Homo-oligomer: A and B are copies of this chain.
Amino acid sequence: MKKVILDVDTGSDDAIAIMMAVLSGKLDILGITVTWGNRPVEDCVENTLKVLELLGKRIPVYRGCPQAMVRYLTRQRNAALDKDGISITLDGEEYTVHPSSFPLPEPREKEQDEHACSFLVNTVKESKEKITLISVGPLTNLGMALRMCPEMKDHIEKIVIMGGGVHKGNITPCAEANFYHDPEAAKIVLESGIPCDVIPLNATHSAEISLDDAAELEATGKAAAVFAASLIRQRIDALEKMKAGNGYSDAIHDALAVASLLDDKVIETWETKAFDIDINGGAGDGALIIDDRMNAEAEFPVRFAMKANKEIFFDMMKEMLSR
C-alpha cells in the first residue's frame, strides 16, 4: 500500500477527501497534518478528529502552523482583500462553505504532541520507502517542512496538490484560495523539484457534484455518504447566497485530489507547463502563472490537471463513502 501523509484544513471538501482516502483502503495513511485556511487551525484539527471518529478510524493527527509563512506580515499586503469568500450573513443567518465545527459527535482521540512540521520532516526523512504527500489546504506546513529540510525531497514519491487555477481564480480574479493564502509556501513546494500533481480549479470545476448527486449519496444511508451529502448541500447553498455559485452544483476540490491518486483515470487531461507563482503582493498576488508561449520550457516536474471525468469521480465517491 502506498504510504501517504495528508495535509488538510478541514473544511467541507477536506472532510470528503479524508473519508475517501480512509475508506478507499488503498492508502497507508501515516498521519494527517492540519493547517489553517478555511478556518483557524484549532477548528480544522477538531473537525479532522471528528471525521476520523465518524469513520471509527485511528490515524494520528498533527497540528501545524496557524498562519501563512509570511503573507500576512504587512498592512499593505493585507489591504488587498475585503472578504474571505467562505461565509456570508443574510438576515442574521450565517451561510458557510466550511462549518467551523462539524455537527458530529465529539472525538475521543486527541491530536498528537508533535508538531505537524516536525512530524513531516522526521517521518519523511527517515522513511526507506518513498512517501506520497497529499496537500489540500494552504501549503504552509509543506513549505515550512521543505524549508527546514530540503533533503526530504529524496524520500518523497510525489506531492498531490489541490490548488491554483490555470488562468482562473476564486478568492481573487487570478488566484485560488489555497495558493493565495500562502503563495510563498506554494512557490517553495512547486519549485522543490519534487514531482507534483496539481489539481487546479480547471479540473475541479470540470467535475462538479450536484444536488442530485448529494441525494444519491444520502440515499445510501451510510454515515460517511450522508455526512458528505449534507456538506455538499451546504456548500452549494452558501455559494449561491454569496452569488458565487449556480445553486445546483459545485466543485468538491479536495476530494478530486485524493481521487486522482486513487485512480488516474479520473483525470482526463494533464499538462506539464512552465509556471511561476506571484508573491509580490500586488494585483497578481498568489496567482499561478502558466507559460503557454510557444518557446516555453517546463523547468520542474509539475503537471496540471486540466479536465476530470465527472462520472468516474462521482462513482468513486459514492462507492467509497458508502462502504
A residues near B (Cβ < 8 Å) are 64-67, 69-70, 73-80, 115, 117-118, 121-122, 144, 147-150, 167-170, 173-174, 184, 187-188, 191, 242-246, 274-285, 287, 289-296
Candidate in A117, A147, A184, A283 with the most chain B CB atoms within 10 angstroms: A283
Complex Cα distance, B287 from A295, in Å, reads 19
Chain B nearest CB from A118 CB (Å) reads: 4
What's the nearest-Cβ distance from chain B to residue A126, in Å? 9
- For A68, give the chain B residue with the smallest CB separation: B147
Q: Which residues of B contact A287 (CB under 8 A)?
A: 174, 283-284, 287, 289
Further 12 A-B residue pairs, CB within 8 A, beyond A69-B147, A173-B289: A70-B70, A74-B283, A75-B79, A76-B79, A115-B149, A167-B167, A174-B287, A243-B295, A278-B280, A280-B284, A284-B287, A287-B289
A45, chain B: closest CB distance, angstroms: 14
Residues of B within 8 A of A278 (CB): 278, 280, 282-284
- Contact (Cβ within 8 A) A76 B279: no
Which of B69, B148, B276, B294 meets A283, CB within 8 Å?
B276
Chain B contacts of A67 at CB under 8 A? 147, 150
Contact call A290/B173, Cβ cutoff below 8 A: yes
Quick one: given A280-B74, A284-B284, A289-B173, are A243 and B115 in contact (CB under 8 Å)? Answer: no
Assuming the contacts A70-B184, A77-B76, asked whether A282 and B284 have C-beta atoms less than 8 A apart, the reply is: yes
Most buried by B among A74, A168, A281, A282: A282
The 9 listed contacts between A and B (C-beta, < 8 Å) are A69-B70, A74-B283, A76-B80, A118-B118, A144-B144, A144-B147, A173-B291, A243-B295, A244-B294
Residue among A115, A174, A245, A246 with the highest chain B CB neighbour number at 10 A = A174
- Could you say which residues of chain B place their CB within 8 Å of the CB of A285? 280, 284
Residue from B74, B79, B188 within 8 A of A279 (CB atoms) = B74
Q: How distant is A44 from chain B, measured CB to nearest CB, in Å?
A: 15
CB-CB under 8 A from A245, the residues of chain B are 294
A144, B115: Cα distance in complex, Å: 12
State A79–B72 Cα separation when bound (angstroms): 14
Interchain CB contact under 8 A, B79 and A294? no
| Shortest Cβ gap from A239 to chain B (Å) | 9
Q: Are B293 and A173 in contact (CB under 8 A)?
A: yes
